[in-house]
A and B are shown apart, each in its own frame.
Chain A
C-alpha cells in the first residue's frame, strides 16, 4: 500500500515535495535531491518533463528514488503519450513498486525546448484519472480489454485554485474526484485569501470529505523570482504585497524572507479546515525543504513501513 495513503488515512498532516529530474542521463542529480528530501517528506513527486522540457524520465527517476528508500509519486502528463503508452507505463510503474501516480494534462509544448513537437493530448487529465482507476479497480483498459493483473496505485490530481473561470474550478475538481482522484496537490499558494475562499467552496460541496487536499508551497528565492512568477508564470497568483515584502529585504536576506513567508503560509494553511497536508515545490532549491519542515514543526515524519 502507498505510504502516503496510509499517512493521510491515519489523519496525519502529510508533507510531500517535488523533485525535478535533470536534463541529462546522470542518476546522481536525482540521488542528491533524494538525499536532501529523505526523512523530511512522506513522498516525492517526480515531474514529467515539466514545462515541456525534455528531462530524465519521471518513471526512471521514481525507480532511483525508490531504491533510496523514498516514496515516489509518479507524475504523468497526457501531453507526450497516447492512451496505449500511458496505460503501458502505468502497468510498468506498478510492476516496479511505484504506488502513487499523479495525473496531469501537462504544460503546452510551446513552453518547452521542443516547441515543434506534436502535443498528443489523446486523453486529458480527467480521462487519465478514470483510466487509472478502472485499470486498478476493474482490471479494465480504456478500450475495454481485460488485464491479467491489476496495477496498484494511490491516485492523485492537481488543481489550480487561482485559475479561471473561478466559479467552475470547484465543479471541475469534483469531476476529478468522480474520475478517481484520491488526493489533490494544488498550485503554489501565495494568495491565501483566494485559497481560503476556494477551500470554502470545496467544503460547501463536501469535497474535503472525499479527497485529501495538499496545499502547494513554493519558497521564494528572491524578489526577482516573486516578480517573475507574478508576471510570467501562467496560472500563478502572487499578490503585489508579497513582491513588495521581498523587495524590502536586502538581496542577501531574500531567501530567508522567502522561507519565512512559506512558514507563515503553512501556519495559516494548517488552520484552514480540509487542508490535509502540504506539497513543497522548492524549485531547484531542495535544501529549503529540510528547513521549512523543521521550522514548521512537522518532524519527525512517520517512517516508511517495510
Chain B
C-alpha cells in the first residue's frame, strides 16, 4: 500500500487561507488503510476545519466526499457534479491521486492534505514500515525475501556495513539491520552461498532513467 500522513494543521490552514468553500475528498484504498485519508479521516478533518474557522471567526463551508480511488479516472468521475460548487478541492489521497484529480478537473484548484510517504506494510496497530522502493526490478529472491534497497539505510547490495551491531542498524537502534536479516534468512534457507557473488551496481535507469516511468500494455487497450 501507499502510505501517507496528514499534514499538520498549521500548514493546512496556510494552504487553505484564501478559500471559503472547501471540498475535502478522501480516498478509500491505500490511505484509508493507513488511516490518513479515508472516509473517517475526511470527517475528522472537516470538523476540525469547521471548528478552527469558528474559533477564528472565519466563514467556512466544508463539503465531504470519498471515492474508492483517486488515481482511477472512472472513480474520480463521481466528483464531477461536486467540484464546481467549491473554491478548492482538498485531496486526502497520495500524490498520484491529487494529480489525477487535478488533471481531471483542470479548472479546479486541487490541494494536497497529505504527505505521501512510501510503499509499505501495516506492521501492527498504528505502525507502517517501508519495504519496497519500486526499483523496477525485483530481486527479493536473491536476498531471502528482504529488500536491501528499501530496508538497508544505505541501500547496500553487498552488505552488511560495519555499523551492524546485535542485529540493529547504527542509524536507528529501533531499526533492524536488513543485512543481518538477509544473512539469517539465507542461512535458514541454506542459501548463504548466494552472497558470495559480488552483486553488480544497480541499474538506476529503471527508476529515473528517462523521467517519469510508465507502463504501457497493448493487451490492455480496448
Contacts and interface: CB of A to CB of B under 8 A. Distances in A.
A164 B196 contact: no
Interface in B149-188: 153-167, 170-171, 177, 179-180, 183-184
Interface string A118-160: 0101111111001100000000001000000000000000111
Contact of A124 (B154, B164, B177, B195): B154
Contacts of B204: 122
A275 to B, nearest CB: 19
A110 interface: yes
Interface stretch (A170-178, A206-214, A256-264, A293-301): A170-178
A108 interface: yes
Contacts of B177: 164
Contacts of A83: 201
B160 A235 contact: no
B196 A124 contact: no
Contacts of B157: 124, 126-127
Given A108-B153, A127-B198, A127-B200, A159 B164 contact: no
A57 interface: no
Given A124-B159, A127-B157, A142-B201, A175 B164 contact: no
Interface residues of B, number: 31
A79 B177 CA distance: 18
Which of A79, A105, A159, A168 counts the most B-chain CB atoms under 10 A from its CB? A168
A174 B199 CA distance: 14
Contacts of A164: 160, 164-167, 177, 180
A159 B158 CA distance: 13
Given A122-B201, A164-B180, A171-B195, A105 B164 contact: no
B163 A172 contact: no
Which of B162, B167, B195, B199 counts the most A-chain CB atoms under 10 A from its CB? B162
A24 interface: no
A8 interface: no
Contacts of A130: 198
Contacts of A178: 198
A127 B158 contact: yes
Contact of B165 (A105, A108, A122, A163): A163
A179 interface: yes
Given A121-B154, A122-B204, A165-B183, A235 B162 contact: yes
A171 B155 CA distance: 19
B165 A124 contact: no
Nearest to A176: B158
B156 A165 contact: no
B121 to A, nearest CB: 23
Interface in A268-295: none
Contacts of A171: 192, 195-196
A121 B155 contact: yes
Nearest to A168: B183
A127 B155 CA distance: 13
Which of B159, B184, B204 counts the most A-chain CB atoms under 10 A from its CB? B159
B29 to A, nearest CB: 30
Which of B157, B163, B167, B179 counts the most A-chain CB atoms under 10 A from its CB? B163
A235 B170 contact: yes
Nearest to A128: B201
A187 B98 CA distance: 49
Contacts of B158: 124-127, 172, 175
Contacts of B171: 108, 110
B34 to A, nearest CB: 24
Q: What are the nearest 5 A-B pairs in CB distance? A: A160-B162, A234-B170, A126-B158, A235-B162, A234-B163
10 contacts: A107-B163, A110-B153, A121-B156, A123-B201, A125-B161, A163-B160, A172-B160, A174-B196, A187-B162, A235-B170
Given A83-B201, A167-B183, 10 more contacts: A105-B161, A121-B156, A124-B157, A124-B158, A126-B157, A131-B201, A164-B164, A164-B167, A172-B159, A179-B198
Interface of A: 79, 83, 105, 107-108, 110, 119, 121-127, 130-131, 142, 158-160, 163-165, 167-168, 171-172, 174-175, 178-179, 187, 234-235
